[in-house]
Amino acid sequence: MMRSKLIAELRPRREVVSTITKSKMLTGNVTAAWAARLAEVDYIPAFPITPQTEIIEKLSEWIALGEFKAKLTIVDSEHSMLAAAGTASLTGARVFTATSSQGLLYGFEMLYNIAGWRAPIVLVNVSRAVAAPISLEPDHNDFLSTRDSGFILLQAETCQEVLDLILLAYRVSEDNRVLLPSLVNMDGFHTSFTREPVKIPEIEEVRRFLPKYTQQLPFRASKPSAKGVAVLRPPLYSFYKYQMHLSSINAINVFKEACEKFEECFARRYDVIEKYMLDDSKYAIVMMGSYASIGKKAVRILREEGVSVGLLKLRMIRPLPSKDIRKALEGKKAVAVIDQNISPGLGGILYSDISSILYNSDNKPKVILPVIGGVGGKTITLDEIRYVVELLEKYANGGEPEPILLLREDELREVESLLRIGVGE
Amino acid sequence: MAQTRYRSLKDLLGEEYVVPGTPLCSGCGALLTFRLFHKALGKKVVWVNAAGCITLMIVYPFSPLKSSWMYTAMGCAPAGAQGIRDALDILIEKGEVDPEEDLKVVVVTGDGAANDIGLQSASGAIHRRLDFYYLCYDNEAFGNTGFQFSPSTPYGSKTMTSLPTPLIPEGHKGRKKDLFEIWRAHNPPYLATVSPSHPMDMMRKIEKAERFKGPKLFISISPCPPGWGYDTMKTIRMARLAVETGVWPLKEAVHGEVRHTFIPRSLKPLEEYLKEQERFKHLFYPLRREDIIGRMQREVEEYWRKVYSTEVLEEKKD
Ligand code: SF4
């Protein structure tokens, strides 16, 4: 009830075409729907959850109007949704689906299965903090919980990137050197419900970029096959998992290749990471998703003030493009990883990833500072990033920083006043 | 039944789609039903499976099947079937798959998956009118994990999680879930119970179900030598006793209308069925528990009293 009501209030009613850019003003959600439509997906199993629901509403509307030929089935849960997505993909259909937060976790078992089946679906996750406590605001705990599943994980910052990453994801996932599903993440509300100008390519252009999906051994009457079967010999299980790992590593170069082709077709350039004022900076902050836009702005302002800082935006999380990240961060005096997630008892998830990449480098930063911010949709302000950079300067010559848990004074006051009401004072 | 392909047992000969040599237990009742089921459906089938005994019929790189197989997970075989059916439908509609290549989509799960963890997924698929078959082989417990009670375990059965003790003399205290009625409440076009002891009845039911588009659902009694505790030779005998004592009624429901396909003139005493199985031994030794056996017998009689009063005796014993 709450899920659908909220979505009804928040859904923008009409698509506005901007006359200046010749782009459409679209929310991240509607952009994701456009990407599925342009990829000419055959099948969309779905289940509503805020803030993802607008994606499937849009797709079902187009199908009902006859504007888009595909089969959309609303199933009974995300677990069923992902099961249907996987088996349909193995039957030869190009599959798209989307979920958020609790839904992703509810279907979690099937993520590992889909990856193990080598079913190259594309799943969009619209990030939302995981209960308890229940929340509607974004963070990356839902998305990053899937990091060991075998999915290729891509994070979008803007609505345009949502479209482009979904198209890229199909090309990479369906490549025979990879054959793994992709999960494209966008931040709930910040991207899902924010309208930005988005360039929507023509379908012919997309066809030039994205070849048809062919499943090598689909379920057909003339060619029986058994899939998803038990493997009881441990070395065989290891072998399959190693294969998945190596295929995932392949996805780094396949993605880079796809980016070249993408630029040729659509004149927009992507890579596995994005560097912002980074090459010549002494300090670096690492961020991803919509909050990276705030990070970039902070970097610009700090640069004007003479602080030598740059930003590394992570785009591909799995496979982790270690070489690219190492190259980007080597030689920096200090690096802050701003994790928009929390692993209680550890700190930030990406912090561990980044640290492990840099550990063996001869030219590693003196300090890598773990920072947690943006959990449960808490905003990160310019002041907070300024504070983080000050800490970088402080620790530049070494030290053992504890994880920094960002919470501003005004926010703390708000929390305290809510707590007082909560206990009935 | 005027137009049936199955007139005598000879009509059950012909091509086998499950070749001998599966890793299932010898005397497995589920396998008997599965084999017959496959015969009735023909070769153009994709089985969609949830975790259970039958899952281990296929262990890489061996399969005894001449048809296709998809193992999903314990809770979502009907959803797996949905994905395959939907994909074939849209690809045929788009002209990308030859209709000759189409497959019957058949879910096969044990009673644990059907009654509990997979019930939501099945409910959704039946409600959506998915065009599929569902075969539940009911061995009345979680057999694959070593025989713990499931929602399908009958009152009075010993299982590894319902051991009879002086405190709990009956063993399992719960009652068997009525999956037939749960499924029937979804109003599928065809629904039936079957038994490997009555192959003609089974084959004719599958044949009849083929006429309907939508969910076609079957529950088969599946005697299980290691779990029930009887000699592997006696599987058919156990299934037959279940039918003849009335504890496993053979029936069907076409668009919800229930009809019994085998109505015993008189029920054999339930005891004949119980005392041949290790899982009910505690009802007879060291003390005969008349109270418990009597309660079980009365429940069976109660069921049949209703059947006798509503249905005319239509079919002879076979
Ligand atoms: S445990 Fe029972 S149901 Fe399972 S394979 Fe053995 S005989 Fe068949």
Q: Determine contact, residues A307/A281, Cβ cutoff 8 Å.
A: no
Query: A316 and A240 share a domain?
Result: no
In the CATH hierarchy, which top-level class contains the domain B16-317?
Answer: alpha beta
Look up the ipTM and state it: 0.95
* Kind of pairing between the strands at A122-127 and A182-187: parallel
Mutating to test ligand 1, I would choose from B144, B145, B230, B233 the residue with most ligand atoms within 8 A of its C-beta, which is B144
Q: Which atom of ligand 1 is nearest to the CA of B27?
A: 7
Residue of A nearest to B105 (CA): A219
Is the distance from the beta carbon of residue B57 to the nearest atom of ligand 1 less than 6 Å? no
pLDDT in tens, A391-422: 999 998 877 888 899 999 999 999 999 999 99
User: Does the residue A304 lie in any domain?
Assistant: yes
A210 and A302 together in one domain = no
Predicted pLDDT of residue B21? 86
Q: How many Cβ atoms are within 10 Å of B60's Cβ, its own excluded?
A: 14
Of A257, A258, A256, A261, the C-alpha closest to A273 is A256
**DSSP strands (E only) in A245-386:** 273-276, 283-287, 309-314, 316-318, 334-339, 367-372
Say if residues A310 and A275 touch (Cβ distance below 8 Å): yes
Q: Would residue A316 count as lying in a domain?
A: yes
Q: How far is residue A26's CA from residue A12's CA, in Å, rounded to a whole number?
A: 9
Q: Both A375 and A354 in a single domain? A: yes
Q: Tell me: do A302 and A246 sit in the same domain.
A: no
Claim to verify: residue A332 and residue A245 sit in the same structural domain? no
Give the residue on A whose Cα is nearest the Cα of B46: A219
Q: Are residues A285 and A197 in the same domain?
A: no
Domain-located, residue A190:
yes
Kindly state whether residues A232 and A304 are assigned to the same domain.
no
A285 part of a folded domain:
yes
In angstroms, the CA B241 to CA B198 distance is: 11
Regarding whether A245 and A283 lie in a shared domain, the answer is no
> What amino acid occupies position A356?
S
The reported pLDDT for the residue numbered A287 is 98
Q: Which residue is closest in CA terms to ligand 1's atom 8?
A: B28
From A226, which residue of chain B is nearest by alpha-carbon distance? Answer: B69
> What backbone phi and psi angles, to 5 degrees, belong to A344?
-55, 130
Question: Quick check: CB of B32 below 6 Å from ligand 1?
Answer: no
Tell me the CA distances in angstroms from A293 to A156, A158, A265, A289, one per residue in order: 11, 9, 26, 8
Interface contact flag, A221 B102, Cβ < 8 Å: yes
Write the residue in A75, A83, A230 that is nearest to B72 by C-beta.
A83
Note whether B76 contacts A91, CB cutoff 8 Å. no
Strands (E), A122-234: 122-127, 152-155, 182-187, 196-198, 226-227
Closest partner residue to B83 (CB to CB) among A70, A85, A232 is A85
Say yes or no: CB of residue B112 within 6 Å of ligand 1.
no
- For position B13, what pLDDT does the model report? 87
3-class state of residue A251 by DSSP:
helix
Give this prediction's pTM: 0.94
- Whole-number Å distance, alpha carbon A243 to ligand 1 midpoint, is 34
Q: Looking at the structure, do residues A163 and A254 belong to the same domain, yes or no?
A: yes
Residue A424 at interface with chain B, using a CB cutoff of 8 Å: no
Given a cut of 50, the residues of chain A with pLDDT beneath it are 1-14, 16-21
Chain A residue with the nearest C-alpha to that of B77: A83
Q: Quick one: A77 and A207 in the same domain? A: yes
Q: Please provide residue A373's backbone torsions phi and psi, each rounded to the nearest 5 degrees.
A: -155, 155
Structural domain tally of chain A?
Answer: 2
B117 contacts on A by Cβ (under 8 Å): none
Place of tokens 């989509």: B105
Instruction: Say what the pLDDT of residue A301 is.
Output: 97
> Rounded to an integer, what distance in angstroms lies between the CA atom of residue A221 and that of residue B103?
6
Q: Across-strand partners of B254?
A: B190, B257
Within 10 angstroms of residue A418's Cβ, the number of other Cβ atoms is: 10
Residues in chain B closer than 8 A to A220 (CB atoms): 97, 101, 103
The answer to whether residues A249 and A289 belong to one domain is no
Number of H helices, E strands in chain A: 15, 17
Residues of B in contact with A68 (CB under 8 A): none
Q: Which residues of B touch A92 (CB under 8 A)?
A: 87, 91, 96-97
Ligand 1: distance of its center to the CA of B181 in Å? 25
Residues of A with CB below 8 A from B94's CB? 42, 69
We report the CATH number of the domain holding residue A146 as 3.40.50.970
Domain ranges of chain B: 16-317
Count chain A–chain B contacts defined by CB atoms under 8 A: 152
Q: Are residues A213 and A313 in the same domain?
A: no
Contact A91 B71 (CB under 8 A): no
**Intervals of chain B under pLDDT 50:** 1, 315-318
Domain that holds residue A329: 273-417
Residue A130 is assigned to a structural domain of this protein: yes
- Beta A273-276 vs A226-227: how paired, if at all? unpaired
A221 vs B44, B59, B124: nearest CB: B44
In a domain, A424, yes or no: no
User: Which pLDDT does position B2 carry in this prediction?
Assistant: 59
pLDDT value of residue A22:
67
The alpha-carbon gap from A224 to the nearest alpha carbon of chain B, in Å, equals 5
